[in-house]
Structure 1
Amino acid sequence: MAKTIARNNYQATLTGATGGIGQAIAQSLAPQCRSLILLGRDLPKLQALQASLSHSGAEIKILAGDLTQEQTLSELKALVQSMGGIDLLINNAGTSQFKSFTEQTSSELEGLLKTNLVAPMLLTQALVPELMKAKEAQIINIGSIFGYIGFPGFASYCASKFGLRGFSQSLRRELADTSIRVKYFAPRATKTSINSDAVMQMNVELKTESDTPAWVANEFMKFLESSAWEKKLGGKESFFVFMNQLFPSVPDKAILGQLPIIKKYLKR
C-alpha cells in the first residue's frame, strides 16, 4: 500500500478549474491550501468558484486565459511568483472530441493536442524552477484511462493522453533526484460537459460506468496524499488496461464487438 503523506498548507495551481472535475477538485483541495491559483477560460465561472471558496481559509486567486497562448503562460508564472511560490501543480485543463479520425480537421486535431499535451508540458517547463524552490513539490497530470487504451472515435484524444502519460513517466524519472514528484491520475468516464450527448448515450448503451466529479475529486485527494506515482480509477477498467498491455488481442476482440454501436454514434 502506498505511504500516506499528510499536508494541509499547499501552495497550489490548478488548471482547467471551471470544468466538472476541476471545480470538484478545487472544492476539495482549497481547505488544504495556504494559497490556490485557479486557471480557466470562463471568467464568470472562475469568479463564482472563487466566491464559493471564500471561507476555505486559503488565499484564492483566479486567472482567465488560454494555456495554448504564450501570454497566459507568462501571466500565470508571474502570478505564481507574486504568491510566494508553488509546491503543487495540477495540470487538469483538457478537451475531448468524439469523431472519426478521417473526418477531423487539421485545426481540430492540432487544437486538441495543444490543449491536452503541449500546453501542460510548456506550463510544467515554465514552473519547474519555481517548484524546485519548495522543500517538497508535486506535479500531477490528470490524464485518462484512454491514456492506456486506444478507443475508436477518440484517436486524437487517446494520442494526447498516451503522450501525457509518457511525459509524466519520463519527467518523473528525470526529476527523481530532486524534491519534485511527478504523478499521473487517470479517471474513467465521468459525468461532465466534456462529453457530448452522443458519448453519454453511447456509454449508456455500452453499459460503461460513469463517475460523478465529486467522487473523482475524492479519489484525487487520496492520491494527492499518497506516495503512489500513478492511479487508475475503476477496477474493471484497470483490469482492461492490464489485459491491453499483456494480451492486447483480448481487448481488441471486446472492442470489435462494440464497434457497430460506436460507429452508430459516430454518425450522429
Structure 2
Amino acid sequence: MRLHDRTFLLLGGTGGIGQALIGPLVECGARVIVATRHPERLEKRAGVSPVHLELASPELDRQLQQLSEVYPDIDGVIHCAGQNRFAALDAMAVSDLDAQLMVNLRSAMLVARHFTPRFRKAGVGALVLVGSTFGSIGFPGYTAYCASKFGLRGFSEALRRELADTPVQVVYVAPRATATAMNPAPVNELNRALGNAMDAPEAVAAQILQAMEKDERRRFLGWPEKLFVVINGILPKLVDKAMLKQLPVIRRFLDSGVVS
C-alpha cells in the first residue's frame, strides 16, 4: 500500500496508538484527517486536519456524509478508536456494554459501509481496522470488549473476502496489551502480576504502518500472544486450563472495586 500522497481518515487520533500514528504518516507524505470527539487536543501541524466526529452517535452515518463532502479526497481509513472496561459482566451497566459495541464494532462497520462504494468507484482505497489479541482470545473481565473485538475480526475477514475482486484493501492488525491511557492502574498491575508484556504505542504504530506498506491482510502482534491465538483456535481447552490457573489473580483485581 502506498502511503505517499494519500489522504487517510484516522479515527481515534487522540488515543495512544492513534496519536502515535500521526507523525509517521505525515513523514511518509500522507495527509491525515484526524476525527475525534476532542479535536482541540491535537497540536497544530502541517498535513494534519482535526475534525469532530462522535463514533457512538446514532447520527454517525450522517456525520460521515458531511465529513466526506468537506474532504472528498479521503482514500484510506484507519480505525483505531476503542473503549474498554475491565469489570465482571454483572458489574457493568447497560451503557458500558452499549459504548463498547458502538465504538469498537458498530462505528467500524458504518465507516466501512460509507467509504467502500467511494473507494470502489475511485479504483483505490484502504480500510485498516485495529483489533486486539482479545479479538481472538476471550479473557475474564473483558467480556464486552472481547465480544466487540471478536466481531471486528470477523467483520474484517468477511469484508475482505466480499471485496476480494475489487481494488479496496482491508487490513486487520491485532495488538497485544499496549501501554495507553485507556488502561487504568489496576489493569497495568494485573498485567505485571501475570507477566504480560505491554508494548509502547509507538511500537504498535510502526507495526501497523509495516502491515499497510507490505499489503498484509492481517497481522497479530507480540510473542507468545501470536502463538496463543493459534492454540486457542485449535485447542481451546488448553487455553481454558491456563486461564483457570490465572483466574484467582484476575479475580483479585476484578473484585478490588477499582475498575476503568
Category of TM-score, reference length = shorter chain: over 0.9
Aligned counterparts, 1:134-173, within 5 A: 134-173=122-161
Letter of the 1:261 counterpart: V
Letter of the 2:183 counterpart: N
Displacement after TM superposition at 1:254 (Å): 0.9
Aligned counterparts, 1:1-268, within 5 A: 5-46=1-42, 48=43, 51=44, 53-54=45-46, 58=47, 60-268=48-256
Q: Tell me how far apart the structure 1 counterparts of residues 101 and 200 of structure 2 sit (CA, whole Å).
A: 25
Q: Tell me how far apart the structure 1 counterparts of residues 183 and 77 of structure 2 sit (CA, whole Å).
A: 25
Q: Residues 34 and 201 (structure 1 numbering): CA distance in 2 closer, same or farther, change over 3 Å? A: closer
For residues 48-92 of structure 1, what are the alpha-carbon distances to aligned partners after superposition, in whole Å with 9 as ceiling and x for unaligned?
A: 2xx1x32xxx3x221123112244543343333433322211111
The number of residues matched between the two structures is 256
Displacement after TM superposition at 1:237 (Å): 0.2
Contact 2:83 2:99 in 1 (8 A): no
Q: Tell me how far apart the structure 2 counterparts of residues 34 and 189 of structure 1 sit (CA, whole Å).
A: 28
Contact 2:131 2:175 in 1 (8 A): yes
Q: Tell me how far apart the structure 2 counterparts of residues 219 and 149 of structure 1 sit (CA, whole Å).
A: 20
Q: What is the DSSP-based 3-state SS (H/G/I as helix, E as strand, rest coil) of the residue aligned with 1:139?
A: strand
For residues 134-179 of structure 1, what are the alpha-carbon distances to aligned partners after superposition, in whole Å with 9 as ceiling and x for unaligned?
A: 3321101110000000000000000000000000001111111111
Give TM-score scaled by structure 1 length.
Answer: 0.91
Q: Residues 34 and 24 (structure 1 numbering): CA distance in 2 closer, same or farther, change over 3 Å? A: closer
Q: Tell me how far apart the structure 1 counterparts of residues 3 and 53 of structure 2 sit (CA, whole Å).
A: 29
Greater shift in the superposed pair: 130-139 or 231-240:
130-139
Letter of the 1:242 counterpart: V
Q: Percent identity?
A: 37
Q: State the Cα RMSD in Å.
A: 1.5
